[in-house]
Amino acid sequence: MIPVRQPTVRRAITHVLRKYSTAADEPCTRYLAVTHPDGANSPADSPLAKKIARFGETTLGTYARPPVIFTHGKGLDLYARAIDSEGKEISRRYLDFTAGIAVNSLGHADDAIARLAGEQASTLVHASNLYYNEWSGHLAEQLATLTREHGGVGYAAGSTAAPGEDLRVFLCNSGTEANEAALKFARKVGTLRSGGPDRKTALVSFRNAFHGRTMGALSVTPNPKYTIPFAPLVGNTRVGDLNDNGAYDLIDEQTAGVIVEPIQGEGGIHPADTEWLAGLRKRCDQVGAVLIYDEIQCGLFRTGTLWSHSKLDVAAHPHVVTAAKPLANGFPIGAVVLSPEVARAVVVGDHGTTFGGNPLASRIASHVLERLSSPELKDNMRAASALLFARLERITRMFEDLIVGPPRGRGLLAGISMREPSNAGRVVALARERGVLILSAGADTLRFTPSLTVSAKEVNEAMDVLESSLTVLRG
């Protein structure tokens, strides 16, 4: 958690907590009743129910979805089709505390993004990577410049790059594609560094990691639930434990790459220790392996800085960082930022992408980056984070019978663990039935990833609904 240093923020949080606390420190009970029933009380022959049934007939069943159809949104609000008590179709508002799984950092239906997307769509959407376009190069330069300005990938904050030695950026379409590219680049470096008949091909990852569902990214996502149906995967992979120094022994002369999330997201909001990360980097340098930080969920200001590793000493920096989720606020894009040394190993023909770096995605991402790095948004995010963690700490105290405290994470990536793992899914459903969308993660974790534009009022609404939901769960 980011410490609250500003006196004004501390005073504001104290005032808010007094407002929401009682002498007995009792939880909020204003939301005990179900206000947003799943299925929207829709009769089986209603247009809404028939539409959901059609989805089931024609959409591949790779997700278990509740019977809710969202139609539009604004800011942190999402609206779904529903049927009222008189049988009329209405729009029902939900508070989205998931940001589309940490994607919509600027909220839904942002006016400025809508305007420039329309303008660019009427100008140029795609021309292929056989040619330059105006916006992909601009975005790559922006990512490299911001990384040096804020710190990351071997550069301390405020660094400059020597001519020809700047960071390099590969643009693609998603997080799993970014990780797939990073693993390929590590293997290419390993090939060049082998210097003998035994090629450096081993890849090291860590339990509870989630790096994607393509075959390469899946091969370093050591969860049998995801991997067993698709075996055999990419070979020569090794698995260690986060924050375990014994994992260093897995990294040897045959290791091409090591991939790790500085804060595991899907695995349950587990932060990596700074000293352990520095040890990973040292060991990778010793054997000539490429260290990759997967910051698809924890990067791009979600944890308070550009990269979650931006403020760490360069001894704990990676050689490569991957990004995606919030980069274009919901428009598909991914990026790999490479150190000059790794980038020199990748030449024409080594990798490619049909849609990656297209003018439309790149222009939107450039605009989003500019706003995410603004002082105003960072100030709002820090204040909202401080309030969120204060409320979560209060909740863990009030519900010690249900929650294993304290809350984990940093910035606006937060999680708390349920004592009974199955209760995580139950709380997600209880909150949704009361108009707030939250996520689960790992085996037992409730995950909170609101847009970085979230207000104090919205934080308090979400936490009030959470307290009421836990009260219902407690029975």
Q: What is the CATH number of the domain that holds 308?
A: 3.40.640.10
Tell whether 106 is covered by a domain.
no
For residue 72, being part of any structural domain is answered with yes
pLDDT the model gives residue 3: 40
pLDDT at 47: 77
Same domain, 318 and 390: no
Among residues 72, 70, 67, 73, the alpha carbon closest in space to that of 54 is found at 67
Please indicate, yes or no, whether residues 71 and 142 belong to a single structural domain of this protein.
Answer: no
Q: Are residue 437 and residue 308 in the same domain, yes or no?
A: no
Are 90 and 177 in the same domain?
no
Query: Looking up tokens 């990748």, which residue turns up?
Result: 346
Instruction: Mark whether 192 and 133 lie in a shared domain.
Output: yes
| Residue 80, pLDDT score | 93
Are 363 and 441 in a shared domain? Answer: no
In this structure, what DSSP letter does residue 110 have?
-
* Together in a domain, 63 and 208: no
318 and 281 Cβ atoms separated by less than 8 Å: yes
**Per the domain annotation, does 232 fall within a domain?**
yes
- Domain boundary residue among 345, 373, 401? 373
Range of the domain at 202: 116-373
| Per-residue pLDDT, 15 | 52
- Entry pTM: 0.93
Range 194-201, long-range pairs (CB < 8 A, 24+ positions): 198/254, 199/254, 200/253, 200/254, 200/255, 200/256, 200/288, 200/289, 201/236, 201/254, 201/256
pLDDT tens, the chain, 475 aa long: 334 444 444 455 555 554 554 434 799 999 999 999 887 556 677 777 888 889 889 999 999 888 889 999 999 999 998 877 677 778 899 999 999 999 999 999 999 999 999 999 999 999 999 999 999 999 999 999 999 999 999 999 999 999 989 999 999 999 999 999 999 999 999 999 987 667 899 999 999 999 999 999 999 999 999 999 999 999 999 999 999 999 999 999 999 999 999 999 999 999 999 999 999 999 999 999 999 999 999 999 999 999 999 999 999 999 999 999 999 999 999 999 999 999 999 999 999 999 999 999 999 999 999 999 999 999 999 999 999 999 999 999 999 999 998 999 999 999 999 999 999 999 999 999 999 999 999 999 999 999 999 999 999 999 999 999 999 999 9
Distance, CA of 170 to CA of 353 (rounded, Å):
10
Residue 107 lies in a domain: no
Domain limit, last residue, from 373, 397, 420:
373
Cβ neighbours around 20 below 10 Å, total: 15
**109 within some domain:** no
**Per-residue pLDDT at 2:** 38
| Same-domain status, 360 and 392 | no
How many distinct structural domains can be found in the chain? 2
- Residue 100: left if φ>0, alpha if ψ -120 to 50, beta else—which one? left
Please indicate, yes or no, whether residues 202 and 259 belong to a single structural domain of this protein: yes
240 in the same domain as 265: yes
If asked whether residues 135 and 232 sit together in one domain, one would say: yes
Instruction: Give the per-residue pLDDT at 130.
Output: 96
| Same domain, residue pair 89 and 171 | no
